[in-house]
Amino acid sequence: MARRSDHTREELKDLILDTAWTIVGKKGAEGLTARNLATQIGYTPGTIYNIFKSMDDLYLQVNVRTLDKLLEVLNSKDCNDPKKSPAQNIKKVLGLYMEFAREYRPYWLMMFLHPLPEGRKKMGWYQEKIDRLFEPLENLLEPFFSGREKQKRKMAARVLWSSIHGLCLLQETGRISLVADKVPEAEMVSYLVDTFVAGIKDNK
């Protein structure tokens, strides 16, 4: 039996979350089971339930960590270089997104593919956090829209974001052989942005 004073409640929470993080990194979301996790930290399944309401709760916390990392990346200075054209900055931010999806694949897949718990509607704070994913793009699209086209700009950001998101999903799940005939994915991002941006300009 683990000594109950080995860790404070706070330490234990961190320990569980950290261990969960490395498990997901190594074996994916499927590998994150209560018993597996408990064994690794030298406790038993029940302990986890003293700290987290459920496994889904723990999954969510891992997702939050992933989301925070992603938001940090997308808000980096590199994506708002005044010396570069808007299109270049947009390419940069979308490229960073794609890079993140690959580098943190198991976490990223967990965030978007792993089954969600039922009562997910009550977590407004989580939704708001996710919605912040659009902000960098919205800002970068500013030069292309007038002040009263804010609505349209928001829509453009969401459509563009969905596009890159769809590309990543097909890429990372391997469900569809996207890069048929060996077209590098970076070229696809580039093509998407160039075409879309050109379309925005032209479509006014």
Partner DNA sequence: ATTATTATTGAACATTGTTCATAACAGTGC
Partner DNA sequence: GCACTGTTATGAACAATGTTCAATAATAAT
Residue 12's binding partner, choosing from DNA, a copy of itself, none, with beta-carbon cut-off 5 to 8 A by kind? DNA
Q: Which stretch binds a copy of itself (CB under 8 A): 7-15, 70-78, 81-89, 109-117?
A: 109-117
Segment 10 to 49, residues that bind DNA, using CB under 7 A: 12, 32-36, 38, 42-47, 49
Instruction: Considering the complex, state which of residue 14 and residue 194 has its C-beta at the smaller distance from a copy of itself.
Output: 194
Task: In whole angstroms, give the CA distance from residue 86 to residue 96.
Answer: 15
Nearest to 171 by CA among 89, 88, 91, 113: 113
Task: Decide if residue 188 touches a copy of itself (CB under 8 A).
Answer: yes
Q: Is the distance from CB of 125 to CB of 58 less than 8 angstroms?
A: no
Q: Which stretch binds a copy of itself (CB under 8 A): 53-61, 76-84, 85-93, 192-200?
A: 192-200
Of 36, 112, 149, 172, the one binding a copy of itself (CB under 8 A) is: 112
Task: Decide if residue 55 touches a copy of itself (CB under 8 A).
Answer: no
Rounded to the nearest 10 degrees, the angle between the axes of helix 55-74 and helix 105-113 is 120
By rule CB under 8 A, what string of x and - marks binding of each residue 138-177 to a copy of itself?
-------------xx-xxx-xx-xxxxxxx-xx--xxxxx
DSSP line for 59-110: HHHHHHHHHHHHHHHHTSGGGG-TTS-HHHHHHHHHHHHHHHHHHTHHHHHH
Q: Is the distance from CB of 193 to CB of 90 less than 8 angstroms?
A: yes
**Is 157 exposed, middle or buried (CB count within 10 Å of its CB: 0-12, 13-18, 19+)?**
buried
Of 15, 17, 55, 169, the one binding DNA (CB under 7 A) is: 55
Total number of residues binding a copy of itself (CB under 8 A)?
49
Q: Residues in the site for DNA, rule: CB under 7 A?
A: 1-7, 9, 12, 32-36, 38, 42-47, 49-50, 54-56
